[in-house]
Chains A and B, each alone.
Chain A
Amino acid sequence: MDDFLIRALIGGFGVAAVAGPLGAFVVWRRMAFFGGTLSHSALLGVALGVLLGVNLNIGIFAVCAVVAVLLVTLARPSQLPNDTLLGILAHASLAFGLIGLSFMEARRIDLMSYLFGDVLATTEQEIVLILVGGGLVIGVLVFLWHPLLAATVDEELALVEGVPVKAVNLAFMLLLAVIVALAMKVVGILLVTSLIIIPAATARRFSTTPEQMAVIAAFGGCAAVAGGLWGSMTFDTPSGPSIVAAAFALFLLSMLAPVFRRR
């Protein structure tokens, strides 16, 4: 196998293995649109990163974190429905990101690679970043698992039972910001949400516990990365969209699987 393909696989697996479990929470908490907003705002992070000359992943994480905090703080006073607020922030930040990038020299910016990923160009440095960042996210997620699950089931019940719900929710959003920053390389800003929610949705039918669903989502995401890269190599298709297409194919297959129980 070629080196670049091995790097792509390692990077893709690293991101998918983390995106799956986080995605399970995104599905349970009905935060898919929230994930979309974070990923749209990532382009603003790219623009700021290029402008200020800092690491793009750090730029993305910073902007995503600010957007997440903004969403939480604006929700009450604006009195707007949550999805409206998400739509406003998603597209405003995408617009500002595109405007910011338009100021830069065209040869320094490969817009398509940001929007749809460029996993076949993953460098060793980026692999280290993905593995360290992903490991950190998984570590925090394991540590927060119980309180996060309690808050997911019912926030008020969790609060009465002594779970620091606000802090746990904030931590979860920051974890999402990290995975958006890491996943951009693999599937790109416009497709990040799919890598988070499709494997989790696929895993639902095969799971009887939350942990099972998280683990199956992680493996399902990795399978999608492998299948997508294979498709990309075989049919010479763009890697990011191919990975998402593979994830979707797995999702469709899961719908054909017999239903386990349920009324």
Chain B
Amino acid sequence: MVPANRFAAAKPLLEASGLTVVRGGKEILSNAGLKVREGEIVTLIGPNGAGKTTIIKVVLGLMRADSGEVKRRPGLVIGYMPQRLQIDPTLPLTVGRFLLLGGNQRNRQGRVRAAEVLDEVGARTIMKTPLQAVSGGEFQRVVLARALLRDPDLLVLDEPSQGIDVNGQAALYRLIASIRDRRGCGVLMVSHDLHLVMADTDEVVCLNHHVCCAGHPETVTNDPNYIQLFGKQMASTLAVYHHHHDHEHDAGGNVVSLAEADLDTEKKTGEREGHHG
């Protein structure tokens, strides 16, 4: 029995429909849409180049769609974590200062708030560290903290786990879920790691230029469209999906066969469980 979305009755924060984006004669988005409700975690998945970042940029208002509509709840405050944030090494910026750039207050109160959100993401100790000297995992937490500083109604996270090792990824997703539980904000995120986010995701939107399927993670992974997009064997276990992605990355040089990928994943999953259990 597939569980129903427990947020079906919650108020929508953001609703996009009929989005079409054409760039250079290619249709990046075709009649795509999504909806995020209060307290709901919506995860956007899809192959590389499927338009995931594009749809994020459109709903944020960073990019204009050629057609379609984005409805935001009036006064909606969004905390955004971009996919690739690069800080020029010539810019002397501490973690604390970076946080203050995103907040409305630059006085003592603002600094106290910055310390609070840094604590909330578990990175309290690096307040005075230069931004260029923190690790990949810490950096992503700092960017998340900056998004939280605005007390957002909606968190928009574009691949929050990049540059983090597998254990760190699981911890980051747990952190995101706990932030949602505590603050009750909606979360819209792009993620390749469906096996890691599944437990806390309320709605999965599978995008390949158009929305090929959407729903509860378990519904989606059984959906014929999902299976068609990711391959039957890939879709059969969620864990393999992650490896499908690795495979694409390797395609230039190391092509890993499906069987090997399967095995490898099982091994890794086992290790992970061992680590936390």
Contacts and interface: CB of A to CB of B under 8 A. Distances in A.
Shortest beta-carbon contacts, A-B, top 10: A160-B80, A28-B91, A207-B92, A150-B101, A27-B90, A208-B92, A28-B88, A156-B62, A154-B85, A204-B90
Nearest to B129: A261
27 contacts: A27-B90, A28-B88, A146-B106, A149-B101, A152-B91, A153-B85, A153-B87, A153-B91, A153-B98, A156-B60, A156-B80, A156-B82, A157-B82, A157-B85, A157-B146, A159-B61, A160-B80, A161-B80, A161-B102, A161-B150, A204-B90, A208-B130, A209-B92, A209-B93, A210-B92, A212-B92, A261-B133
A159 B94 CA distance: 21
A138 B57 CA distance: 34
A154 B101 CA distance: 11
A145 to B, nearest CB: 10
Contacts of B102: 150, 157, 161
A12 B78 CA distance: 46
Contacts of B64: none
Contacts, number: 64
B101 A213 contact: no
Q: How large is the interface on B (under 10, 10 to 19, 20 to 34, 35 or more residues)?
A: 20 to 34
Interface string A26-43: 011110000000000000
A150 B104 CA distance: 12
Interface of B: 57, 60-62, 78, 80, 82, 85, 87-88, 90-94, 97-98, 101-102, 106, 130, 132-133, 146, 150, 156
B184 to A, nearest CB: 21
A208 B98 contact: no
A107 interface: no
A213 B133 contact: no
Interface in A210-251: 210, 212-213
B88 A160 contact: no
Interface of A: 27-30, 146, 149-150, 152-154, 156-157, 159-161, 201, 204, 207-210, 212-213, 261-263
A131 B152 CA distance: 44
Contacts of B156: 160
B200 to A, nearest CB: 24
Nearest to A79: B24
Nearest to B24: A79
B130 A261 contact: yes
Nearest to A147: B101
Contacts of A153: 85, 87, 91, 93, 98, 101
A160 B106 contact: no
Contacts of B93: 153, 209-210
Contacts of B94: 208-209
Contacts of B60: 156, 160
A28 B98 CA distance: 14
Contacts of B106: 146
A156 B53 CA distance: 12
A28 B91 CA distance: 6
A55 to B, nearest CB: 35
